[in-house]
Structure 1
Amino acid sequence: MRYPSAISQLLPACAALLVSMPAAAQSWTSSSLGIARARHGAAALPSGEVLVVGGYFDQSTWTARTVESYSASTGTWSVFGETHGDHYVNVHALPLHDGRLLVVSMEAPLETYDPVSDTWTQWSDAWVFVSDTAVTQLADGDGFFVGGGMDFNDWGTTFRFDADTGTLHSLAPLAEGRRAHAATVLADGRVLVTGGSHFIWEDERFGELASTEIYDPSTDTWTGAAPMPEARAWHHAALLPGGRVLVTGGVGKSSTVIYDPATDAWTAGPTMAGARWNHTMTTLPSGRIVVVGGGDAGTSVELYDPATESFTALPSLSMGRSGHTTTYIPGKGLLVINGGSAEFYALHQAPEGHACVITEECASGTCEGGLCVDGSGSSGGDAGGPGGNPAGGGCSLPLFGLDASYAGAACLLFAPGLFARRRRRSSASSQPPRPPR
């Protein structure tokens, strides 16, 4: 008597699945800070450690001076020391070209940390009131602070911090005061400021801005640029390979736009999976950009590929994040922090044959067909761009890996019984027929 068709087809199907089935894609690893923080600053040191400076979670928690460090190698936190000043809110930490760390906040003088001498230096004459201010670094590494606002007042003041001398310089102001905007350093060293919000006294309400301005540090002048197709505030922007600028999100927006300084023109970019604002954009060495969390987006993480001008979904965070920091640790991965917890996503670590979503996860080679492969594609996975479900074979993973899919587990449990039953029936059928009684 023959097996039913479905069972006979299940056996080779299970075998094929077990051969081609990759390990489950990696997820974010959670850890806990010693002190809960919000509106803090974070940056990676040359050693690979990440320092978290200032911020506070509630009025009863003292975090304004305490500095903590994160080790990607061990996934643990430790108290690192204290700053001179109290860095409560709107804290920014910027890695300088010489390996030092620059810290700026709303209510304290600027400070620098020197990891070589393990000392903090407070620049008492350098003080900027940072409130919804766009903070970035000029091409030479100097800190650049533009605009801001508090209550019903918006300002367009601009400052430059000379990291070599520890002096603060007042620069030409914006033509229009704004807060919750973005500042992006262009390939030629100029700075593009986009959108934001301002208080409209005539209407007694806040309104978003579509206007843009470009600052030229060589002449200390601002020039109006083409406005964005629509107004945005609490959005983010990043420089793309080739010199264009990608702007993502804003309150209630899942759309993106791309600015080309060569033509002073805007074009529509791809749409994100959902609206996000107060999120982060982190540029990887490959030029691709990771967009993390934000209001309305919750746990969502996406990667933008400028080569294909498209987004790829990455594994979600374990909890929604907004107003967080995202720090790229060279050769290690991404660290997302806010509140009392952090999440780490390993990059450049997955061995050949391991499941992946993007190439940056692989220790070498590329991510093709959902697997890390070498340059010749030796793992057997078909080409799949940045990642995705495997399209081909390749016995690249342990057959009995505990991280296999539920379908694979079902085959592992069910198939042995089928093989055993088939063996018994086959053995029985090979015996000579018994004589009738």
Structure 2
Amino acid sequence: MTRRTNLTAGLHRAAPGGAAVPPPGAWFPAGELPAPRRWFGPAEGAVPLADGGALVAGGALAGDVPTAEALLFDPVAATWTGTGALGTARHSHSTTVLGDGTVLVAGGIGAGGSQPAARLRSAEVYDPATGVWTATAGEMAAARSLHAAVLLPDGRVLVTGGEGDRAPRAPGRSLSSAELFDPATGEWAPAAPMADSRSAHPLVPLQDGRVLAAGGRRSIGRGRGIGQGFCELYDPAADVWTRTGSLAAARAGHQATPLADGTVLVTGGDSPGIRFERGFVPFSQWRTERYDPATGAWTPGGNMPDGRTCHRAVALSSGLVLVLGGTDGATRTTGYASAALYDPLTREWTASGGMATSRYLCTATPLPDGSVLATGGTVRSGRATPAPGADELTATTEVFWI
């Protein structure tokens, strides 16, 4: 396997691939993935690497078939190339960059489909220097998918919640359990369980070392779930969860973004609403909320131009927050191409340039030069497709220029 070079060495503000430099706030196309795919999980998708590129591993291909393919994005050439494949094909997993620059992939759904769901306990670590994946010494105690994961200040990884197996050929159930991965030993150890079971939830590291779990989906049986507003804080030093202020609106399919001042911005989600002053808005949240760790309280963050769920939100180097893509929470038939920028100082939103391809359940990754990489996702599904039940995915990649 060829050793990776540092792509950021001498990197300048020129558009990748020799393209003309676009104006700030514009999107331009980058290389396509080998095949269309999407990512369901809150901690799944492309992650930035120390050399200036990005890595994406696994994901759901057409028909939600999990893939073992791993790909590297070169921001200078604006192309994707293959690297070592995962030992186990998976989607709905977590991908976490470790302190030494290696990457941990854990859990997810493997081959076999959802009848029964082949949820995984296994985990693998990728070495960018060799392009090789190595199974961790131990496995998680619980097989889980749609869980959250975050790197702690001491170098360990906290994994929380997700969907677990209820029984053979039965829908999954939300989990409250949590586990810790120690890169020094490659072993997993139990962590204190959360007070509430949840899946597809944001897990946000705070500046004081604690971790915030905000809202998420809770199973109510027969494959159905509802959003929740309950939030809690994890203290790694004490291995203790404590309840904190609840969201004003129950949410699933939302995003939580840490801001420079230490607060956390929550955007979007499935919870229904009608915006009377502008008529009907499809059933997804447009109201945002800000969490203050000093008080444990949520306050209004300012209304987005439009509601959206299954979108992506990225903090920019300027301090602004970029929200892109998504869909409505009622039908989830069509992805959005629009994007918007949030100013934390004024709590105001402004529309930004839209993507060429509408998408949701995509991935969005900040790159070292300040640009943002948007990749893959669902373009349309259900009755919005020529053949209902055959969701249309995309292989396109776009870069947001600032």
Q: 1:175-209: CA deviations, max 9, x gaps? A: 121223221111111111111222346x9963321
Unaligned runs of 5+ in 1: 1-21, 348-360, 362-437
> Is 2:181 the counterpart of 1:143?
no
Q: How many residue pairs are counted as aligned between the two chains?
A: 324
- 1:231 alignment counterpart: 250
Taking a change above 3 Å as real, the CA distance of residues 276 and 197 of structure 1, as seen in their structure-2 partners, is same
Equivalent position of 2:106 in the other structure: 104
Distance in 2 separating the partners of 1:185 and 1:248: 17
Is the aligned partner of 1:284 residue 2:288?
A: no
1:47-103 CA-partner distances (Å, limit 9, x unpaired):
222222112312596x622222221111122222212222x2113322222111222
User: Which residue in 2 is equivalent to 1:215?
Assistant: 234
Conserved 8 A contact 2:70-2:86:
yes
**What residue in structure 1 maps to residue 207 of structure 2?**
187
- Shift of the 214–319 alpha-carbon distance from structure 1 to 2, 3 Å rule, reads same
Alignment match, 2:147: 133
The answer to whether the 8 Å contact 1:28/1:315 transfers is no
Residue 185 of structure 2: which of 159, 165, 170 is its match? 165
- Retained in 1: the 8 A contact 2:152–2:205? yes
Q: Which residue of 2 aligns with 1:334?
A: 372
1:215 & 1:98 partners in 2: Cα distance?
Answer: 23
Give CA-to-partner distance per residue, 1:388-421, whole Å, 9 cap, x none.
Answer: xxxxxxxxxxxxxxxxxxxxxxxxxxxxxxxxxx
Partner of 2:386: none
Q: Is the contact made by 1:253 and 1:277 (CA closer than 8 Å) also made in structure 2?
A: yes
Q: By how many angstroms is 1:330 displaced?
A: 0.4
Q: Is the 8 A contact 1:185 1:192 kept in 2?
A: yes
Q: Tell me the residue number matched to 1:178.
A: 198
2:32 aligns to what SS in structure 1? strand
Deviates more, 1:103-112 or 1:229-238: 103-112
Question: Which one-letter code corresponds to 1:111 in the other structure?
Answer: E
Residue 53 (structure 1) aligned with residue 57 (structure 2): yes
RMSD between aligned residues: 2.5
How far apart are the structure 1 equivalents of 2:348 and 2:173? 38
- Cα offset for 1:118? 3.6
TM-score, normalised on structure 1? Answer: 0.69
Whole-Å Cα distance in 2 between the matches of residues 23 and 172 of structure 1? Answer: 48
Q: How far 1:149 moved relative to its partner?
A: 2.4
For residue 141 of structure 1, report the CA deviation from its aligned partner: 3.6
Displacement of 1:272 after TM fit? 0.7
Relative to 1, partners in 2 of residues 1:24 and 1:218: Cα closer, same or farther, differing over 3 Å? closer
Larger Rg: 1
Match among 130, 135, 154 for residue 122 of structure 1: 135
Structure-2-length-normalised TM-score: 0.74
- 1:68 and 2:82 matched: no
**CA shift for structure 1 position 276:** 1.1
Distance in structure 1 (CA, Å) of the matches to 2:67 and 2:125: 15
Unpaired runs of at least 5, structure 2: 1-21, 109-119, 165-170, 271-283, 329-334, 377-392
Amino acid at match of 1:153: R
What does 1:202-351 align with in structure 2 at a 5 Å threshold?
206-251=225-270, 252-296=284-328, 298-331=336-369, 333-338=371-376, 339-347=393-401
C-alpha distance in 2, partners of 1:23/1:154? 44
Greater helix percent: which structure?
1
